[in-house]
Copies of this chain bind each other. A is one copy, B any other.
Amino acid sequence: MGILVVLSHFRSFSQLYQPMELVEYLSKIPLFNGLPKEQLVDLAQITVTLDRDKGQVIFSEGDEGTGFYLVLQGRIKVYKLSPGGKEQTLHIFGSGEPFGEVPVFAGKHFPANAEALEKSKVLFFPRASLIKLIEKNPSLALNMLAILARRLREFTVQIEHLSLKEVPSRLAAYLLYLSDREGGSLEVKLDITKGQLASLLGTIPETLSRIFARMNKQGIIEINGPHIKILSRPALEELVEFGSGL
């Protein structure tokens, strides 16, 4: 499996950016804030660009992790799979976000799977050179620590939701999150399919669909395909706080 993955890196190698363009791009990524330009140049040289079509795998649970990744274009879903085939999405990463760092620092195999939700380009950073860089650059170390810490915080919330809240609460929280992300707009658009949203919320499409329908009927929201109008923000907030009532 490990060999397969490595081969696939080279099979799909493509120099998306001219070296300097890539350096320019990397310099704007929070993770590399504060890195001296010459090190960015070095870094850019040892990366490999991978192209993935919708549905293609980046890595699978159990694969050996020889480095980590950064999304250049598209979106990458990181998820766990049950024997029965149910998926739990852990995170959906977009442009500029690093993922797959865990095996770089602890253990060596990936704890989850990653695949492209759409045609995507990702950058691969080999482990050894990253470690060397971190040893020389405290700011890089701190940036990486910040990223892992932020992710721990998010997982904390996900665990809380799965264990302590019902699906309507989780959906309400997600809608409020979307709304906040758009500066508080009351009209939001789902940028993932409802099936993917179900997986992100730890449920299945049927259940999600029913809950959308209930919220719609109760006048809390109004749905048109992926377009959702929030009619009562307070109702959503109350749902997040005290689950039931729906």
Give chain B residues whose Cβ lies under 8 Å from the Cβ of A136: 138
Contacts of A162 in B (CB 8 A): 159, 162-163, 202
Contact with B along A88-107 (1 / 0, CB 8 A): 10100000000001111111
Report the minimal beta-carbon distance from A167 to chain B, rounded to whole angstroms. 11
A77 vs chain B, min Cβ distance (A) = 14
User: Of the 9-residue stretches A37-45, A142-150, A185-193, which lies at the interface with chain B?
Assistant: A142-150
Q: Per-residue CB proximity of A130-166 to B under 8 Å, as 1/0?
A: 0100111010011011111111110111111011110
Q: Are B149 and A102 in contact (CB under 8 A)?
A: yes
State whether A155 and B149 are in contact (beta carbons under 8 Å apart), knowing that A83-B241, A241-B83 are contacts in the complex. Answer: no
A223 at interface (Cβ–Cβ under 8 A)? no
Closest beta carbon of chain B to A159's beta carbon, Å: 6
A168 to chain B, nearest CB (A): 14
> Judging by beta carbons under 8 Å apart, are A160 and B88 in contact?
yes
Q: How many copies does the complex hold?
A: 2
Is the CB of A86 closer than 8 A to any CB of chain B?
yes
Q: Does A80 reach chain B (CB closer than 8 Å)?
A: yes
| CB-contact partner of A150 in B81, B106, B163, B243, under 8 A | B106
Whether a CB of chain B sits under 8 angstroms from the CB of A242 is yes
Whole-angstrom distance between the Cβ of A204 and the nearest chain B Cβ:
11
A145 touching B142 by the CB < 8 A rule? no
Collect the chain B residues with CB atoms within 8 Å of residue A150's CB.
105-107
Q: Are A155 and B152 in touch, CB under 8 angstroms?
A: yes
In the complex, chain B residues whose CB is within 8 Å of the CB of A242: 83-84
- In order of increasing CB-CB distance, the 4 nearest A-B pairs are A141-B141, A82-B164, A106-B149, A105-B149
- On whether the beta carbons of A156 and B112 are closer than 8 Å, the reply is yes
B residues near A159, Cβ cutoff 8 Å:
80, 88, 90, 155, 158-159, 162, 202
In chain A, residues 161-212, which have Cβ atoms closer than 8 Å to a Cβ of chain B? 162-165, 202
Is B153's CB under 8 angstroms from A156's CB?
no
Cβ contacts under 8 Å, A156 to chain B = 80, 90, 102, 111-112, 155
